[in-house]
Amino acid sequence: MRLVATTAGTVRGADEDGVAVFRGIPYAAAPVGPLRFAPPAPVPPWDGVREAVAFGPTAPKNPYAPPLDALLPDPDVPGDACLNLNVWTGAPPGAGRPVMVWLHGGALRNGSSAVPLYDGRAFARDGVVLVSLNYRLGIEGFGVFPDAPANLGLRDQLAALGWVRDNIRGFGGDPGNVTVFGESAGAVCLGALLASPRSRGLLRRAVLQSGAPAAAAPGKAARTTAAMARHLGVEPTAEAFARVDRARLLAAQRAATAKGTPLTGGRGFHIVVDGDLVPEDPAAALAGGAAGDVDVLMGGNTEEYRLWFVPTGLADRVGRTALRLALLRHGAPWRTPRVYRAGRPGASPGEILGAVATDVVLRVPQGRLADARTQGRGRTFLYEFGWRSPVQGLGACHALEIGFVFDTLGTEDSRLLAGDAAPRSLARAMHRAWIDFATHGDPGWPRWDAGRPVMTFGAEGAHVVHAPREAERRLWS
């Protein structure tokens, strides 16, 4: 067993397969009572030794709705002290190791650090100190109220990064060499953190997986709060919501957000431009030079849309008329279906719509940001994950790359998406690229420039492609 002193007290972890693991360490006080809709408060110090061998409580959330619940396990650990984190480090720990901090996804209303796919042993085995964390979700993390600060879940993440700065040296990490990486909503949060003046000095590098910097105006983001208030029959204030039983609150949240997805829209939760933590739209701030000295690696999966379109049957229900109407809403040129179909012979209208949505929400914004960053001191690298899962026709869908990045293809939740024959060699290549980027800022391929180099991780292995699907990209320029 391992003892480490933190600023709040001593914690005891466990040795697992040559790795020291510390789970459930609080980085902020439990968000209950007067702290429920308040910014994260300091952890009350403790005497003696605190056991840190089990995952801490997860943030209040609903399970994923069918059919995603069968593909994306989402453990629920009861308890109020959900602002906790986990650390994996070498046993015995070295000194000055690079640090990687993981922000999980889940549309800002699902997910936790207890998902087995996010096990950090492979990172620790390969010389990295891996930190994963929980943050407030849904209405308690991203609700918009007139009487409470916005972006509480984002403020939680910032508090966790402050904990890393103040404590990670005791776990063998270098607080001056911190890479934050996040997927989906975690990547969107990371984009906002990068653009926020509050994050200066807390991270050196960033990896955005399947997410682009984005935020909503308070009025738009408040629509979900208002819908929940109508469902509950209360005023849309933090004071009124704090008096509602949590089970009723989650039921109202499920009802208000049932039809929303990250690609098709609908009511959900958003990072908010609040004039404080997020002073302006993160995409605009980053394009304007914010975090220009931070190295950034970003990308996504070739067929992100298939996670939502295929299991639900949406890909088969979309016809030509629905495709045209959707493209009109996106402001797409009339020739868009022809251009996309040229690279996808035999694609259905639903598959064309999914490819367009993937580009509009992810690939195009990331490309624009990469272009804007070419004059800054920080280097920018792009990747694309294209290996296709045989499971349920998911293909190269959203979230599939995570097991490759963490080198956890053997876990049951990875097999749910990737099957039993996912290539370990591709996982080793992707995992190593992330470690190399965190260690010295170079994942192993050319930085972004006018040639538009993209490292593609696919069935043929890892290789650089210049300006992939350029005709499709130009539709949006």
In angstroms, the CA 144 to CA 271 distance is 10
In angstroms, the CA 90 to CA 21 distance is 9
In the numeric block, the tokens 């994923």 are attached to 64
Q: What is the dihedral of CA 238, 257, 418, 341, to 10 degrees?
A: -130
CB 416 within 8 A of CB 73: yes
| Catalytic pick among 303, 304, 351, 401 | 304
Tallying the residues shown for the chain, one arrives at 477
Annotated catalytic residue 398: yes
Residue 283 tokens read as 């995409």
Strand pairing of 380-385 and 295-301?
Answer: parallel
| Catalytic pick among 112, 113, 184, 196 | 184
Q: Kindly tell me the burial class for residue 219, based on how many C-beta atoms sit within 10 Å of its own C-beta (0-12, 13-18, 19 or more).
A: exposed
Residue 405 tokens read as 């990045």
| Catalytic pick among 389, 398, 414, 431 | 398
Annotated catalytic residue 280: no
Residue 121 makes CB contacts below 8 A (sequence gap 6+) with: 16, 17, 19, 21, 88
In angstroms, the CA 198 to CA 151 distance is 13
* Element (DSSP H or E) covering residue 173: strand 173-183
CB 432 within 8 A of CB 439: no
- What's the sign of the alpha-carbon dihedral 9, 10, 16, 17? positive
In angstroms, the CA 170 to CA 19 distance is 15
Annotated catalytic residue 184: yes
For 79, phi then psi, to 5°, come to 135, 160
**Residues assigned a catalytic role:** 184, 304, 398
